[in-house]
């Protein structure tokens, strides 16, 4: 084999390997291009889904923000209500304390009035019994005695009739 033949074979082998290498590169490029297209499509789908999720998360975040504001308002209202209840409770406590004080004072006054009234009633009863009833009983007895005496004197009846009409106990003064 001559050098020229070897050189032609070598150039043929190199050309064939270049053609094969080109085919492999072309095939690899086509495969990579298909892979890139699939990856691009998946990336676009993922990007679209990510945008949808992000949009949902943003709307969810907005909903949470409005809920946050609502809860914040509820918290502020609850604090105001709590403050009002505490103030009202203090006012009610003060009112109850004052009512108890006034009630105690009034009970003492009522007790004094009742005691005074009872004492005055007892004094009045005693005065009536001693100063009014006793003289009235005595005057009544005197009048009965006088009437009996006048009836006896002016009637002119017999002594026996008088005894029957007026028993001895009634005539005794």
Buried b vs exposed e over 28-42: b needs ≥16 C-beta within 10 Å? eeeeeeeeeeeeeee
- Quote the tokens at residue 138: 């005595």
Rounded CA-CA distance 82/76 in Å is 10
Per-residue pLDDT of 130-158, as tens digits, reads 887 788 888 888 899 888 888 888 876 55
172 DSSP 8-state letter: -
Distances, alpha carbon 75 to alpha carbons 68, 72, 84, 162, in Å: 10, 5, 14, 107
Rounded CA-CA distance 88/41 in Å is 68
Provide the number of structural domains found in the chain: 1
pTM: 0.38
Name the residue range of residue 122's domain: 3-171
The answer to whether residues 137 and 155 touch, using CB atoms and an 8 Å cutoff, is no
The answer to whether residues 173 and 141 touch, using CB atoms and an 8 Å cutoff, is yes
Per-residue pLDDT of 7-66, as tens digits, reads 999 999 999 999 999 999 999 999 999 999 999 999 999 999 999 998 888 888 887 888
The answer to whether residues 148 and 170 touch, using CB atoms and an 8 Å cutoff, is yes
């Amino acid at each position: 084999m001559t050098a020229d033949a070897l050189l032609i074979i070598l150039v043929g082998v190199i050309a064939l390997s270049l053609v094969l290498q080109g085919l492999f590169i072309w095939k690899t490029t086509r495969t990579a291009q298909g892979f890139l297209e699939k990856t691009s499509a998946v990336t676009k789908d993922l990007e679209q889904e990510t945008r949808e999720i992000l949009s949902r998360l943003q709307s969810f975040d907005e909903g949470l923000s409005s809920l946050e504001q609502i809860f914040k308002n509820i918290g502020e209202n609850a604090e105001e209500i709590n403050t009002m209840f505490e103030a009202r409770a203090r006012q009610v406590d003060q009112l109850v304390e004052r009512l108890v004080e006034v009630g105690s004072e009034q009970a003492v006054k009522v007790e004094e009035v009742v005691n005074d009234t009872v004492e005055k009633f007892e004094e009045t009863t005693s005065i009536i019994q001693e100063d009014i009833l006793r003289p009235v009983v005595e005057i009544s007895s005197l009048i009965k005695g006088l009437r009996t005496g006048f009836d006896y004197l002016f009637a002119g009846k017999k002594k026996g009739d008088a005894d029957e009409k007026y028993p001895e106990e009634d005539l005794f003064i």
